[in-house]
Chain A
Amino acid sequence: MATSTAARVPAPADSPGRGAAPVRRSTPLRRRRSIAAWGFAAPFVLLFLVFTAWPVISSLLMSVTDIKSRDLQNPFNVNFVGLDNFATVLADPLFWQAARNTGYFVVVGVPVVMFVSLMVALALNTGITRLSGFFRVGYFMPVVTSIVAVAVVWRFLLKDDNGIINVVLGWFGIDGPNWLGDPNWSMPAMILMAVWRSMGTLIVIFLAGLQGVPASLHEAAALDGANAVQRLRLITVPIMRPTLLFGAVLTGIGYLQLFEEPLVMTNGGGPLNSTLSVSLYIYRQFGFGNYGIASAMSYLLFLAIVLLTLLQFRLLTERDPRPRRKARQTTEREGSAR
């Protein structure tokens, strides 16, 4: 601690207006300070380099080679193939099917889970019931439960003839579909389960965001005669915008990497590959030992995630309805936010 206090004292030396000499005089201290800083940061930096940076780089390297599992013994057999792997992947109809499946999951799943979670968060936030603490816990339960256990139970819930979901639908005279056996219904079933599963996190985030909405604004608006829907649209949502953006980005990234649900629920992508996701296909290719192809797919997925995130920022960042001069400032703020 002594070092850090000592280090803080000469800090003004950095400030403009001083000559070159004092800066030079403080150099040993600065160096000591930076050694200490690197010392503290080293464990993280090292782990980051070994387990995050290097894998990302090596995967990029692998994506431009024809490396397969058999080359592990003979690394000199690995050839540079340029963008061939990417061409192969883009020409693979199964990859496009996986991309379509994943896109379906994201485009339908993200808005649904956002909407449902916001509604539940609003209900919990009003605190109408004394039980809202119980519900907060209840909604969070799926998040902390093991996905494999959950998937096995859901397989029973979704059974064709005597699954609870179809039994309940039957009470209302609806003949439920064969959820996991019908290629048209397998993806909706995945979305149903994913919504149930990821709601908890979003509700907690939204509840925190709702705490930041000043009650005085609502009171003022109510005095002016605004009804609940108007207050939600004009006060709550605009103030919550950063929170909603955060939730959407996080969910979008997560949903693009759909993996465990189809792996467990439909034995890895059935029926008729209707639940084969991009991540699952990457996993399959790694399993076949096609490391080059799998790495190329990983990078395409990475690209998709970047694009989706940029799109969400564009759509959800605050846009000022007032004239242009203000609007330009907003754009600058957007830029720096990124």
Chain B
Amino acid sequence: MRKPLRVTVATLAAATTLIALTSCGRSDDAPAEDMSAAPVAEGEATGTITVWAMGTEGEKLGEFADAFSAENPDATVEVTAIPWDAAHDKIATAIAADQTPDVSMVGTTWMGEFASTGALDPTPDTIDGTSFFPGAWGTTIVNDVAYGMPWYVETRVLYTNTAAAEAAGVSPSPATWDDLKTSTAAIQAAGADYGITLQAGQQGAWQTFMPFAWQAGAQILDDEGNITLDTPEVVDALTYYQSFFTDGVAPVDVPVGTLESSLIAGEFGAMVSGPWHIGILEEAGYADFTLSPLPAGEQLASFIGGSNLAVFKNAENRDGAWKFIEWLSQPDTQAAWYEATSDLPSVPEAWETGTLATDPQLAIFGTQLETAVAPPSIPNWEQIATVIDTELEKVTRSGLDPQEAATAIQQQAEAIGTGL
């Protein structure tokens, strides 16, 4: 039996924020007024630097930071691990209550929201934006101001069952939209249930779809910052995406937990996914897959995600915080961090040595990252993304006309607004 007080629980959450809001408003510095970053003091870092980090990063960063303390004997790094699913609320509450740490890991799609509260410190010039993958650096920029540092990245590539491709007599690395279409159809014709799986809808499907839109040359925002999701390019991408479903080459439903086993069994020929799937597939004892960059439409593109590190305006140890982040952005540190966690470095230079330079599978991700695109860092992005998820599902499942879908996305996205 459900608790009859759920409404109260929902309102409780709201109220705590309201309490926080009435009792402790921070000084009124909107991000637009204070855009220039203050300089960071010279010399070694000192004092305690408090850091919040999520997931594996939260577990491993504490030990990893010992190397930083060795270089800066007067500085200690205190890492608090927080679970991913509590992280967003915890950071939001911390900002409201003015109880922020010095540094926090921030998911790339949250940057717009948190930066627009005015709680993040603009990145000082000790951190060089040009040393990162452009897509990764783009995730830190809100309203033309950079906040924080891109820490690690992930991007999506094409995974193909090599044996299935060989059986069908096609290349496992299709180079263009047409190639992908014909090769997946051939794999299906050669006996696989489906040629490829593409997310048909539901949460996060936009991450699989938007690369196709970007490949077609679409933009989410134009140069003036207007939402442009009903352009001919978006319609082209929707039409192309839909064709996989109308032709029956891609399944509408992939039951939860069957993705990997189906790819291994050759029940479908290919899928689009990120670097984490290498580990999952290898753990399942499967090595016969080929990675390739997503095929080119008008141009090459993929989705770039990952996490940034941000410093809060009210950090007690601001200089120490930026020095720590600067250290984490060094190519050597980034390469070492990859060895510790398998997080892909956001700095291209870190890819030039060690495993990252020699492993051919990882090299595919390195190549893909050069053309990977991040969604704009606007506060309302998550909300607009949900609209894309929903309309995309109508396109794939119930055959909604791509033009109508694009119009619907545009209308709803305009109603939501960028939030800037």
A302 to B10, CA, bound (A): 11
Q: A272–B382 contact, CB under 8 A?
A: no
Question: Does B285 lie at the interface of the complex (its beta carbon under 8 Å from any beta carbon of A)?
Answer: no
Shortest Cβ distance from A190 into chain B, in angstroms? 13
Q: How far is the CA of A235 from the CA of B56 in the complex (A)?
A: 63
What 0/1 pattern do residues 42 to 76 of A give for CB contact below 8 A with B?
A: 00000000011011111101100001111111111
Contact call B6/A279, Cβ cutoff below 8 A? yes
Answer yes or no: B221 CB below 8 A from chain A CBs: no
Stretch at the interface among B65-73, B250-258, B330-338: B250-258
B203 near A55 with CB under 8 A, answer no
The CB with the most chain A CB atoms within 10 A, among B2, B8, B95, B202, is that of: B2
State whether the Cβ of A198 lies closer than 8 Å to any Cβ in chain B: yes
A293 to chain B, nearest CB (A): 11
With a cutoff of 8 Å between Cβ atoms, the chain B residues found around residue A273 in the complex are 390
Least CB separation from A201: chain B residue: B1
Q: A201-B1, A257-B7, A270-B393 are in contact. Are A73 and B14 (CB under 8 A)?
A: no
Pairwise interchain contact A287-B382, C-beta atoms closer than 8 A: yes
Q: Are B118 and A73 in contact (CB under 8 A)?
A: yes
Judged by DSSP, the binding face of B is helix
Contact check, A271 vs B393: say whether CB atoms are below 8 A apart.
yes
A183 contacts across to B, CB distance below 8 A: 397
Does A250 lie within 8 Å of B7, measured CB to CB? no
User: Which of B16, B22, B92, B95 is within 8 Å of A75, CB to CB?
Assistant: B22
Cβ of B107 to closest chain A Cβ, rounded Å: 13
Complex: A253 Cα to B118 Cα, angstroms? 41
Report which of B19, B20, B28, B379 forms a contact with A74, defined as CB distance below 8 A. B28
Tell me the smallest distance from the CB of A181 to a CB of chain B, in Å: 4
- Contact between B21 and A75 (Cβ–Cβ < 8 Å)? yes
- Tell me the bound Cα distance from A57 to B22 in angstroms: 14
Cβ contacts A291-325/B at 8 Å (1 or 0 each): 10011001001100100000000000000000000
Which chain B positions have C-beta within 8 A of A54?
15, 19
Contact B10 A284 (CB under 8 A): no
Residue from B3, B11, B117 in contact with A70 in the complex, judged by beta carbons closer than 8 Å: B117
Q: From the candidates B25, B92, B386, name the one contacting A69 in the complex (CB within 8 A).
A: B92
The smallest beta-carbon distance between A124 and chain B, in angstroms, is 18
Instruction: List the B side residues contacting A181 at CB < 8 Å.
Output: 252-253
Closest to A143 in B: B1
Q: Is the CB of B202 within 8 A of A267?
A: yes
How far does the Cβ of B286 sit from chain A's closest Cβ, in whole Å?
22
Interface string of A230-265 (1 = CB under 8 A from B): 000000000000000000001101110111100000
CA of A279 to CA of B9, assembled, Å: 11
Residues of A within 8 A of B95 (CB): 72-73
| CB-CB under 8 A for A283 and B10, given A70-B379, A270-B201 | yes
Contacts A56-B8, A70-B379 hold; do A257 and B2 have CB atoms under 8 A apart? yes
Complex contacts, B12 vs chain A, CB 8 Å:
51, 55
Task: Verify if A96 is at the interface (C-beta below 8 Å from B).
Answer: no
- What separation, in Å, do the CA atoms of A118 and B390 have in the docked complex? 40
A288's partner among B202, B252, B380, B397 (CB-CB below 8 A) is: B380
Assuming A284-B386, A298-B7, is B393 touching A70 (CB within 8 A)?
no
Residues A76 and B25 in contact in the complex (CB < 8 Å), given A155-B256, A160-B253, A272-B397: yes
Q: Which residues of A contact B201 (CB under 8 A)?
A: 270-272
* Choice from B7, B117, B379 contacting A301 with Cβ under 8 Å: B7
Contact between chains at A302 and B7 (CB < 8 Å): yes
Which residues of chain B have C-beta atoms less than 8 A from A291's C-beta?
Answer: 14, 17
Check B10–A272 contact: CB distance below 8 A.
Answer: no
Interface residues of B in 375-415 (CB under 8 A from A): 379-380, 382-383, 386, 390, 393-394, 397-398
B96 CB to nearest chain A CB (Å): 4
How far apart are the CA atoms of A181 and B398 in the complex, in Å?
A: 12
List 10 extra interface pairs beyond A54-B15, A73-B26, A279-B6, CB under 8 A: A55-B14, A62-B14, A70-B116, A71-B21, A72-B92, A73-B119, A76-B28, A254-B3, A270-B201, A272-B397
CB<8 Å pairs between A and B, sample of 24: A55-B11, A55-B12, A55-B14, A69-B92, A69-B113, A72-B96, A72-B117, A73-B96, A75-B21, A155-B256, A159-B255, A250-B4, A254-B2, A257-B2, A257-B7, A260-B2, A267-B202, A271-B201, A271-B202, A279-B6, A288-B386, A290-B383, A291-B14, A295-B14
> What are the nearest 5 A-B pairs in CB distance?
A59-B11, A254-B2, A55-B15, A72-B96, A58-B15
Chain A residues with a Cβ under 8 A of chain B:
51-52, 54-59, 61-62, 67-76, 78, 143, 155, 159-160, 178, 181, 183, 198, 201, 250-251, 253-255, 257-260, 266-268, 270-273, 279, 282-284, 286-291, 294-295, 298, 301-302, 305
Chain B residues near A (Cβ < 8 Å): 1-4, 6-8, 10-22, 25-26, 28, 30, 92, 95-96, 113, 116-119, 201-203, 252-253, 255-256, 379-380, 382-383, 386, 390, 393-394, 397-398, 419
